[in-house]
Amino acid sequence: MRDFAPLRAWQVLTDTSLISQRWLQVREQRVRLANGHEIDSFHLIQGPSWASVLCLTADEQVILVRQYRHGLGGPSLELPAGVIEPSETPLDAARRELREETGFAAEELSLLLTAAPEPARNTTRAHFFFARGAVRVAALALDRSEELEVVLVPVAELLELIDQGQIVHAAHIGAILLAARRGLL
Q: How do the pLDDT tens digits run along the chain, 185 residues long?
A: 899 999 999 999 999 999 999 889 999 999 999 999 999 999 999 999 999 999 999 999 999 999 999 999 999 999 999 999 999 999 999 999 999 999 999 999 999 999 999 999 999 999 999 999 999 998 888 888 888 999 999 999 999 999 999 999 999 999 999 999 999 99
Instruction: Give the helix/strand (H/E) hosting 51.
Output: strand 50-57
Q: Quote the longest CA-to-CA distance of the chain.
A: 58
**3 state SS of 115:** strand
Q: How far apart are the first and last CA of the chain?
A: 25
Q: What confidence score (pLDDT) does residue 35 get?
A: 95
Whole-angstrom Cα distance, residue 185 to residue 175? Answer: 11
Q: What is the pLDDT of residue 40?
A: 97
pTM: 0.93
